[in-house]
Chain A
């Protein structure tokens, strides 16, 4: 998933590169090759052959333009087409008189490379092989045509290097662009992540601000009363209020990430309500919590609510998540029903009473 932006950016850049290659080749074909063909007609064995080859290249360019518009590539046809371009190049070179070889009349020497770049999509390895083949074949043709002397060969080498380097540079630019595209996409993804994290953090902060405000509203008057002497620490009711406020503060300070489990959130809300009614609740959550289906969750929360509502004394509420089950439990004094095990849909509820209180445990197994 994280590679998708990179691919999209890469695609856009590749398309621009395609257009650039096409434009360069078309310009070279129309602006350089065509005038040369017309101007140096005398230096060819056969002008119609030259025109036919140029026309062939033109067809290739038109096909490429059509493919580029539809965003499609040459696919499996790239190889055979490249070979065909090489063959056309051979034909064109063969139709040049020996005197005109690699001179101004020899327009096909440079154009073949550019058409190859267009067909092969700037792929470095394939294009290098193509250009090397073109260079070797052209050299062979020049030698066979009788111009094997050092001066000629060095001139041929200069011309070949001159045209090939531009074409190879184009491919190398493609690599650099692709790498840039990946980096740009990574940076964009990172920025998006940071923005999301920032928004979440702001949301959490606002959330915490409201909770702090509420707690201040509860704890500040109590503390003020204790300080002024209006509330006496030896008073049991005051002690209970202090215990409740302390538990809530402690829970708030101890939170790291806010619970994302729906069950824990709902039971936390129940604990909150019980505490505001004056019940001292010890609430603990342990383990990674599975997400039960909504029906099971409703039953689990309902059992906790029933047990908490039935009591005014201190209560212990726990939520425990194992690999295969989610268990919620309330220990409090308050009659909730007879001892035993009952089944409520996907949830098993166990009730047990002892001197220390009544224990209700609701368990959901995956």
Chain B
């Protein structure tokens, strides 16, 4: 069996401890994840070895001051797959990142369990919704939000509460794969709403192709 090609990531974060921690998780990941570069500024993701990374793990809070929205926009416009990894735990920030075109949004509190699976999914252009993001979607009352069915909302809420697909499946009398499907559908609905972005279009197109949801669901 030949070597499995590793997913390559670049970490944009201004805390060395975070970089060290994420690198450690990636080192233990299977399939392997290779950290090609890391640094506190956007340059590390657009120049040097970071330029070719499959996924950008991006801290929205680079230094003191306002969140790095312009940098995120730049990465999305460049066609990069961005996993936002942030200490901001508020709904508005998370959903705004999705609207801009980030692939997914993780709070630093859920990194240990969800960052590695998120990187794997995003590298394969598959949607990944960690529990806190699911909670943000389930409680979203902003204007312009997509229409969620009651079932989709309760799946998201249960996922947010339990962080366990087994518990969600048992509670709602569904299979784990059905739970996954519902969560993916909502993610694609969010990709189909709001401002246009290449990354979002890719998600939507793929979902339509796979029959995950139809055009009138968007």
Q: A-side interface residues toward B, CB under 8 Å?
A: 247, 250-251, 253-254, 256, 282, 284-288, 316, 318, 320-323, 327, 329, 331, 350, 352, 354-357, 359, 361
Q: B-side interface residues toward A, CB under 8 Å?
A: 87-91, 107-110, 131-132, 135-136, 138-141, 153, 157, 160-164, 166-167, 170-171
Chain B residues near A285 (CB, 8 Å)? 89
- Choose among B87, B109, B162, B166 the residue with the greatest number of A CB atoms under 10 Å from its CB: B162
Q: Are B139 and A359 in contact (CB under 8 A)?
A: no
Nearest-CB residue, chain A, relative to B165: A356
Q: CA separation between A284 and B138, bound complex, in Å?
A: 13
Nearest-CB residue, chain A, relative to B113: A282
Chain A residues near B110 (CB, 8 Å)? 282
Nearest-CB residue, chain A, relative to B89: A254
Chain A facing B: main interface SS:
strand
Chain B residues near A288 (CB, 8 Å)? 139, 141
**Chain A to chain B contacts (Cβ below 8 Å), 26 pairs:** A251-B89, A254-B88, A254-B108, A256-B88, A256-B90, A282-B110, A284-B89, A284-B109, A284-B132, A286-B135, A287-B91, A287-B138, A318-B135, A320-B157, A320-B160, A322-B138, A331-B161, A331-B164, A352-B167, A352-B170, A354-B164, A355-B166, A356-B162, A357-B167, A359-B162, A359-B171
Q: Give me 16 other A-B pairs in contact (C-beta within 8 A), A251-B109, A320-B157 excluded.
A: A250-B87, A282-B110, A284-B107, A286-B138, A287-B138, A288-B139, A288-B141, A316-B161, A316-B162, A318-B135, A321-B139, A322-B141, A322-B157, A323-B141, A331-B161, A352-B171
Chain B residues near A361 (CB, 8 Å)? 161
Q: Are B171 and A350 in contact (CB under 8 A)?
A: yes
Which residue of the partner chain, among A253, A284, A357, A359, contacts B160 with CB atoms under 8 Å? A284
Q: CA separation between A357 and B164, bound complex, in Å?
A: 9
Which residue of the partner chain, among B88, B109, B139, B167, contacts A286 with CB atoms under 8 Å? B139
Chain A residues near B108 (CB, 8 Å)? 250, 254
Q: Are B91 and A320 in contact (CB under 8 A)?
A: no
Nearest-CB residue, chain B, relative to A282: B109
